[in-house]
Structure 1
Amino acid sequence: MTETTAPTGIRLTQYAHGGGCACKIPPGELEIMVSGLLIGSEPPGDLLIGLDDGDDAAVVRIEGGRAVVATADFFTPVVDDPYDWGRIAAANALSDVYAVGGEPLVAVNLLGWPRDTLPLELAREVLRGGLDVALKAGCHVAGGHSVDDPEPKYGMAVTGLADPGRLLRIDGGRAGLPISLSKPLGVGVLNSRHKATGEVFPQAVAAMTTLNADASRAALAAGARCATDVTGFGLLAHLYKLARASGVTAVVDVAAVPYLEGAREALRDGYVSGGTRRNLAWVEPHLDAGRVGGDELLLLADAQTSGGLLVVGEIPGAPVIGELVPREGAPLRLR
């Protein structure tokens, strides 16, 4: 079942060159850009998670046996409905805090808006969506920053708290442990179809607006020490970064990876973003794909927006999609 366009009649996705996390700078270019920054400049022992391995948020130890978590995330419209876009963007920003094992405390809005092109009432709906999701997470929203921008953009800078002795790190993977994925893949191809046709996919919106709070807490309760979230770089690239940082090989059982209804049909009909193709091109030199074909690889590289947590360990309700093994050959292998 699909519907057409947003109730406003204005299709926000038509005002953006990309959509959601698919508009991120490609992972290879990003790594070149930040290479060498801040090395040796941070206070020793205080910065627990920084730029080294591409974790989802920065974590700094403070007094009282606590740590501060800081992150920022924003992007262009991924859906036409402004309220849903606000909810998705907020859930995506909050996910970075959950991905390192933290709890969000306060957020500020980041808004770019073409004030001479789009009604301010739509911007208010975007902000209302972000506020509702933040309140659901128990996170305060206190102002923010806005600019007149030719392309609409929205997100949040979020500050949270964590236990410095119980963090989820991208470099904490160990051989012999399973890999779990808390949300199905496929929002990228469905969002591409939405942008091209105006069809609305409630299953994609539901996935993108679901907080990763429960998955993060379940991972910590299970004793997990390694996780990341799956966003614009796709499952393969995020898992490759985890395996590289942890010094292991990640083996994916392709048949165990869950997908949203309609994802394969969207792929079949050609709704693949440029971001997804760039993801696959970046990770292929580090991938032993075995007999897995090109279409399946595109789905595994699909640029997700507000995707699930990729947890090293088993957590309730999340399918196990593979395992970590000692490094042998490529850091990423499909079977």
Structure 2
Amino acid sequence: MGHRLTQYAHGGGCACKIPPGELESMVATLAVGTPPDAQGELLVGLDAGDDAAAVRIGDGTAVVATTDFFTPVVDDPFDWGRIAAANALSDVYAMGARPVVAVNLLGWPREVLPFDLATEVLRGGLEVCTTAGCHLAGGHSVDDPEPKYGLAVTGIADPDRLLRNDAGRPGTPLSLTKPLGIGVLNTAHKATGRYSAAAVDTMTTLNADASRAAVAAGIVCATDVTGFGLLGHALKLARASGVTVVIDANAVPYLDGARPAVRDGQVSGGTRRNLDWVRPDADMTVGEEDALLLADAQTSGGLLVAGEIPGAPVIGELRAPGEHPLVVR
């Protein structure tokens, strides 16, 4: 049967991220100043916990920089490379930017897994970058007890048309560009070996079209839905923008098989930590199954857009701040 890559990692995909509460505590004391010889103006940094950093460099151009990498989310190395690359590129698209160049980040247990598998991972990343029209050149690798792969990506954008998570305004509808359920289906894959073609197709679909549509529509607020789940990323947007995010649970789309996976207990620790993190700030009237799906740790999920774009269901709205920054009904 060969090597099942998911068995060489303690977690899978974005479910292996450091929990949001712990991450916030970690970076809270980091002061972001302007170095005396810095080039350009920092437009987006640590303050709002946005998807990428953005610097205005003049001539109507902003440079957008991000990085993302994780442990295997599927067993097939080529698919894992494709998924990891699409996920890293997503942070650039979530800012309304276009990726220009990326470099590989690879951790590999060289005495455990053959290098031909690593080659397949890199080949998957290259295919997705080629599709995105993004150069992929070089990178860095380390001998690592667990396999890890991702990209550092640089993109460009119009500094006056960035998509930011702190630009939400009351009265704006909320759209979601991909269905949820990726996390529970990936957890089921890791536990049972069952392959979900729908999950892989969703994870390898670039957010490029959604990003371009949002910018073209004059939308200014968006984020992508990844390891902190829909609820976690919605809460971050609500806090950054000073609004209340209201989600209609019945309007949220899910991948086929997601609900049965939850009922079978295929829920990652990352998803449960997401739900625990948002509960104190949320007014939730949905059942536990819905709550877990809404908090499901997505890998290469869709964009959560404050506005309406073609083909994306409206799942809620932004309202004036109230008792809770997150309301789920």
Same fold (TM over 0.5): yes
Letter in structure 2 aligned against 1:63: G
Name the residue aligned to 2:10: 17
Name the residue aligned to 2:305: 311
Are 1:34 and 2:27 matched, yes or no?
Answer: yes
Residue of 122, 147, 166 corresponding to 1:152: 147
Q: Distance in 2 between matches of 1:112 and 1:102?
A: 27
Letter in structure 1 aligned against 2:166: D
Are 1:58 and 2:46 matched, yes or no?
Answer: no
Deviations 1:185-209 (A, max 9, x none): 0000000000000010000000000
Deviations 1:70-104 (A, max 9, x none): 00000000000000000000000000000000000
Name the residue aligned to 2:74: 79
C-alpha displacement of 1:39: 2.8
Are 1:327 and 2:313 matched, yes or no?
Answer: no
Q: Distance in 2 between matches of 1:27 and 1:265?
A: 27
Name the residue aligned to 1:273: 268
- Secondary structure in structure 1 of the residue aligned to 2:327: strand
Letter in structure 1 aligned against 2:145: P
Tell me the matched-pair count.
327
Q: Distance in 1 between matches of 2:95 and 2:168?
A: 13
Letter in structure 1 aligned against 2:26: M
Q: Distance in 2 between matches of 1:323 and 1:55?
A: 20
- Secondary structure in structure 2 of the residue aligned to 1:156: strand
- Secondary structure in structure 1 of the residue aligned to 2:265: coil
Mark the runs of 5 or more structure 1 residues left unpaired by the alignment. 1-7
TM-score (normalised: structure 2): 0.98
C-alpha displacement of 1:281: 0.4
Q: Distance in 1 between matches of 2:170 and 2:10?
A: 41
Checking the alignment, whether the CA contact within 8 Å between 2:229 and 2:297 is kept in structure 1 is yes
Letter in structure 1 aligned against 2:301: G
- Secondary structure in structure 1 of the residue aligned to 2:296: coil
Q: Map 1:1-335 onto structure 2 (within 5 A).
A: 9-42=2-35, 46-290=41-285, 292-335=286-329
Q: Distance in 1 between matches of 2:255 and 2:267?
A: 15
C-alpha displacement of 1:45: 7.3
TM-score (normalised: structure 1): 0.96
Q: Distance in 1 between matches of 2:123 and 2:318?
A: 41
Mark the runs of 5 or more structure 2 residues left unpaired by the alignment. none
C-alpha displacement of 1:44: 9.9
C-alpha displacement of 1:40: 2.8
- Secondary structure in structure 1 of the residue aligned to 2:72: coil
- Secondary structure in structure 2 of the residue aligned to 1:200: coil
Letter in structure 1 aligned against 2:3: I
Deviations 1:251-271 (A, max 9, x none): 001100000000000000000
- Secondary structure in structure 1 of the residue aligned to 2:46: coil
Q: Distance in 2 between matches of 1:62 and 1:221?
A: 22
Q: Distance in 2 between matches of 1:36 and 1:70?
A: 22
C-alpha displacement of 1:64: 1.4
Q: What is the CA RMSD across the aligned residues, in angstroms?
A: 1.0
Checking the alignment, whether the CA contact within 8 Å between 2:40 and 2:57 is kept in structure 1 is no
Letter in structure 1 aligned against 2:9: A
Q: Distance in 2 between matches of 1:299 and 1:66?
A: 38
C-alpha displacement of 1:295: 1.2
C-alpha displacement of 1:60: 0.4
Q: Distance in 2 between matches of 1:10 and 1:263?
A: 26
C-alpha displacement of 1:158: 0.3
Runs of 4+ residues over 4 Å off in structure 1: 42-45
- Aligned-pair identity in percent equals 74
Deviations 1:211-255 (A, max 9, x none): 000000000111100000000000001000001111110100110
Q: Distance in 2 between matches of 1:234 and 1:324?
A: 18
Q: Distance in 2 between matches of 1:257 and 1:111?
A: 35
